[in-house]
Amino acid sequence: MNPFGLPSNPFQAQPQDPVQNFHKAFMEYEKKIKERDPNGCLLFYSSKIAGGQPLDSVVFLTLTSKMMGQLRRSGCKNLWFHITAFGGDIRTVDMMKKVVEDLGFEEVNVIAPLRLGSTASLTSFVIYDKLYVNTNTIIDPFNITIQIGMPNAFELNTFLEVMDFLMKSPGKGKEMEDAIRTQAYSLMLSSGALFGYVEATKEQKFIRDILESYIQGKLLVHEEEFEEVFLGAGDRISTGLTGRRLKEYLRNVIVMDEEDPELSQLSLEKEEVAQQMFEQSGLGGVLAISGQISTFGVVQAPVLPALPLR
């Protein structure tokens, strides 16, 4: 404001709609990808860093497979998949691999400039032919998604009292051990923890089957070493990796800020536009291809026509 109480620049342009800003940025991104790869096309998925839409088996998988089909029918041979995502259902992984194979893309290039959450990292490892990361891209481990319920305070207190009584009671050690084990199973069953444990065991086996079927041939290290980092081993928890360290574990990993700085800067800039859109609009995530944007969260973005490439 000036001393007269009027705007300093009354003709200053109003800020643009954040979704329109993202659409413009996406088209610039796609143009650069096509200049690099005339047979390529861009699929962009980004989730809000704080509380974004997870990679679930309904929204993400359905819309992604639909958009991939549109890209393939338009003549795209090489898929460039930009992804920043967190959490989600691991059942998307196997189906995503099948979708990519059935559509017949000749090459899948995954671009992960910022972070790959637990399911996104597993999905990316399964589908990629080339994986583009930055030195400090965070690659999360493959977390088991089953939530094991905890017993309520009354049940837990009862179990502890019974265990204390059995421990103090005279009798054979084997009988006491069996009695405590029976009581523990009863507590786990009543709280749902036993079911959760069984389901978690199934998920762990599913992930190991995925590793053996789709990832083993891409490994630069022994499978046990890879599992220790991304799935855990014994009493050691899984930790994940940075992008630079991932290159030591998997084939065809390109550390963009060292090997392809132009793509590194481009992908980070467009990811920043997406994150700004989330902050300004209240959206939780976006999935986009040329001419189509699907959003998740408070506001639904319109389907926008493709801009002509210049």
DSSP 195-223: HHHHHHHHHHHHHHHHIIIIIGGGBSS-H
The pLDDT of residue 216 = 96
The neighbour count for residue 292, using CB atoms within 10 Å, is 18
pLDDT-derived band at 91, boundaries 50, 70, 90 = confident
What average pLDDT does this structure show over 207-224?
95
DSSP 131-149: EEE-TT-EE--------PP
Q: Highest-confidence range of 50-64, 86-100, 174-188, 261-275, by mean pLDDT?
A: 261-275
Q: Is the pLDDT of residue 300 over 50?
A: no
pLDDT-derived band at 268, boundaries 50, 70, 90 = very high
**Can you read off the two tokens belonging to residue 140?**
């999360």
pLDDT-derived band at 57, boundaries 50, 70, 90 = confident
pLDDT by residue (tens digit) across 179-196? 666 766 666 666 555 556
Q: Which amino acid is at 59?
A: V
Top-confidence residue, 187 or 220: 220
Least confident of 8-17, 168-177, 178-187, 195-204: 8-17
- Nearest Cα neighbor of 227 from 214, 242, 216 is 216
CA separation for the pair 113, 285 (Å, rounded) = 16
The pLDDT of residue 9 = 55
Least confident of 4-8, 79-83, 232-236, 266-270: 4-8
pTM: 0.78
* Residue 235 DSSP SS3: coil
State the chain's mean pLDDT as an integer.
Answer: 83
Q: Which amino acid is at 296?
A: F
Least confident of 133-142, 150-159, 269-278, 294-303: 150-159
The neighbour count for residue 261, using CB atoms within 10 Å, is 11
Top-confidence residue, 234 or 188: 234
Q: Highest-confidence range of 170-184, 254-268, 283-297, by mean pLDDT?
A: 254-268
Under 8 Å between Cβ of 176 and 267:
no
What average pLDDT does this structure show over 49-53?
73
Q: In the β-sheet with 283-289, what is the strand arrangement from edge to edge?
A: 253-255, 130-133, 107-112, 78-84, 40-47, 283-289, 292-297
pLDDT by residue (tens digit) across 95-146? 999 999 999 999 999 999 999 998 999 999 999 999 999 999 999 998 665 5
162-197: b or e for each residue (b if 16 or more CB lie within 10 Å)?
bbeebeeeeeeeeebeebeeebeeebbeebebbebe
Top-confidence residue, 229 or 303: 229
